[in-house]
Amino acid sequence: MLPIDEATCASRRGEGAIELTAAREFLKLFRSRTSACISNAYIVDHEPQMTKDGILISSLPIEVFFVVNIQVNMVRDFASSCDLLSEAEGRSLFFDALRFIFENLKYKQRHYRNSFLHDLESCCAAANDFFRMSELTEDLSKQLVHQCHSSIPICPEHVQWLRKESEDLVAVFVADSVYSAQIVQSHVFEQMSKQIETDLFSMQWECLLDQNEVALKIVVAEEDYLEEIFSFLGNDLLVKKTADAFVSKTVAFYLLCLLKKARHHRKRSTREKCFLDSKNAAKRILGDIQVMKNFFRRVAASIPALSKVVEKEFEALIAVYEFMSIAAGTSEADAFDFMFVLHKLTGEFDTTRRLLNDLWYLMAPGQERQLWLVVSEAKDTFCEISASRTTISHQHTDVIQSIHNLLVCFYSEDQSQQRGPRLIDRLKYLDSKKSVSIWKKPSMAGVSSETLKDRTATSLEHCRYNRKPPGILRGASDRLKQRFCSGPIQFDILI
């Protein structure tokens, strides 16, 4: 073998430096062009098309991964032509280029996802497309790992990184696929909510529709939509997730309509009852819950995993019904039992107090003020529950709001509107009972804000400790102390 002189070595080192410099320039240009090509693949119009099996898809997966495969092959060919893979720094540049492809595709997917979700058909097509893209990502990852093992002297860290990047991208595509399938329910309820909101909890609902016709209208419409949606989706996972979303949305829709009934009645500032007969209204609510729950149980016959979701989601409505039945006088159960169940669903004391106040107001107008004070006395216990146990979680994507988020959004819509009894109403109530009064104008002259604050506190203390709440709430504070001071607190759901 002939010896290699120093000039030859220097020449080769110079050539290697030139090649690495050219590789860095190529990588810089490659990044900008790859980003533009992937963007163009996303923004091209992709009309949903139906396969012979009735499944909705579009050309998005084919066009995006056509671009991705071209870019991957371009990087590999350039690395081979420049002999970059024989040196550690060259291999690092090669894997940097692959990393950019995966990361840029992940960014583009998150950026453009919502642009495909226009209506029911486009959402179903997008769900199928994104799931197909997750499968194409797995295929690309396996192909790259095989090629690296066969032709590139790489270290295990590079293979591990490649698999992790592909797994992250697959997770993004699957999550977006589930999101697209579940967001269908928003388009469905947007179409059917206007008429149903008008009928639900109306006088006709209470007095004439004794067969729960409004609830039947809801489930009949959902049945028609679900049958069509299930035929559009090409994956059992997406069918299950869509059914989950419809269960959650149905429960949320019914509860929000109930709370809107209380809000609307409060805005009218009347002393009329919310319902002509609270006991009959409670009976109607129970019938509605049974109709909707039985419908989803029938759906669960073909989707066994849905059964647990149905039972879990309808716990909220059952607790609401039980609490309202106590207020209506049709149940002798302890109101505090269901107060704590509902608090576990909301997780925040202020949200729970407003929810309880509205529900009690619907069945027993006038007594909700006493309830507000009794619940306020138990604030420490409610907060202890929040600290000791996390709220009942909904294992869904962000398309489905938990009961907690739903109620927080509802009560924060109008910050100026007080859900509990206003201070002025409380003080007028005290004045009418000839307790400590601050409402006579002569007594207000020259009174400082501190003195007024003291008088207000005294008035509220007088109401809190010297006036007993009527009906079921009488003695609630004593029962609360006996239950939660005598032993460890139990937080299991009671229904």
Q: What integer is the mean pLDDT of 438-447?
A: 38
Interatomic CA distance for residues 155 and 91, integer angstroms: 10
Which pLDDT does position 70 carry in this prediction? 92
The domain locations on the chain are 15-182, 184-485
Q: Taking Cα atoms as reference points, which of 358, 366, 339, 341 lies closest to residue 407?
A: 358
Express each pLDDT in 201-229 by its tens digit: 999 999 998 899 999 999 999 999 999 99
Which pLDDT does position 168 carry in this prediction? 94
Token duo for residue 457: 């506190």
Q: How many C-beta neighbours within 10 Å does residue 246 have? A: 23
Three-class SS string for the chain?
CCCCCHHHHHHHHHHHHHHHHHHHHHHHHHHHHHHHHHHHHHHCCCCCEECCCCCEECCHHHHHHHHHHHHHHHHHHHHHHCCHHHCHHHHHHHHHHHHHHHHHHHHHHHHHHHHHCCCHHHHHHHHHHHHHHHHHHHHHHHHHHHHHHHHCCCCHHHHHHHHHHHHHHHHHHHHHHHHHHHCHHHHHHHHHHHHHHHHCCCHHHHHCCCCCHHHHHHHHHHHHHHHHHHHHCCCHHHHHHHHHHHHHHHHHHHHHHHHHHHHHHHHCCCCCCCCCCHHHHHHHHHHHHHHHHHHHHHHHCCCCCHHHHHHHHHHHHHHHHHHHHHHHCCCCCCHHHHHHHHHHHHCCHHHHHHHHHHHHHHHCCCCHHHHHHHHHHCHHHHHHHHHHCCCCCCCCCCCCCCHHHHHHHHHHCCCCCCCCCCHHHHHHHHHHCCCCCCCCHHHHCCCCHHHHHHHHHHHHHHHHHHCCCCHHHCCHHHHHHHHHHCCCCCCCCCC
Q: What integer is the mean pLDDT of 461-465?
A: 43
Express each pLDDT in 73-108 by its tens digit: 888 887 777 766 666 666 777 788 888 999 999 999
Which pLDDT does position 187 carry in this prediction? 92
| Most confident residue range from 67-76, 150-159, 390-399 | 67-76
Interatomic CA distance for residues 303 and 239, integer angstroms: 9
pLDDT band at residue 28 under the 50/70/90 scheme: confident
Which pLDDT does position 150 carry in this prediction? 63
pLDDT band at residue 408 under the 50/70/90 scheme: confident
pLDDT band at residue 19 under the 50/70/90 scheme: low
Which pLDDT does position 434 carry in this prediction? 39
Q: Is the pLDDT of residue 446 over 50?
A: no
Interatomic CA distance for residues 283 and 363, integer angstroms: 12
pLDDT averaged over every residue in the chain: 78
Q: What integer is the mean pLDDT of 31-36?
A: 90
Interatomic CA distance for residues 137 and 142, integer angstroms: 9
Interatomic CA distance for residues 393 and 89, integer angstroms: 48
Domain made up of 15-182: CATH architecture: Orthogonal Bundle (1.10)
Q: What integer is the mean pLDDT of 9-25?
A: 55
Q: Is the pLDDT of residue 128 over 70?
A: yes
Give the pTM.
0.78
Which pLDDT does position 105 carry in this prediction? 95
Express each pLDDT in 415-429 by its tens digit: 445 544 444 454 444
Express each pLDDT in 235-255 by its tens digit: 999 999 999 999 999 999 999
Site of tokens 């081979």: 80
Which pLDDT does position 378 carry in this prediction? 85
Q: How many C-beta neighbours within 10 Å does residue 428 have? A: 13
Which pLDDT does position 85 carry in this prediction? 63
Do residues 336 and 479 lie in contact, with contact meaning Cβ atoms separated by under 8 Å? Answer: yes
Express each pLDDT in 334-344 by its tens digit: 888 888 888 88
Q: What integer is the mean pLDDT of 156-178?
A: 89
Which pLDDT does position 146 carry in this prediction? 79
Interatomic CA distance for residues 338 and 332, integer angstroms: 12
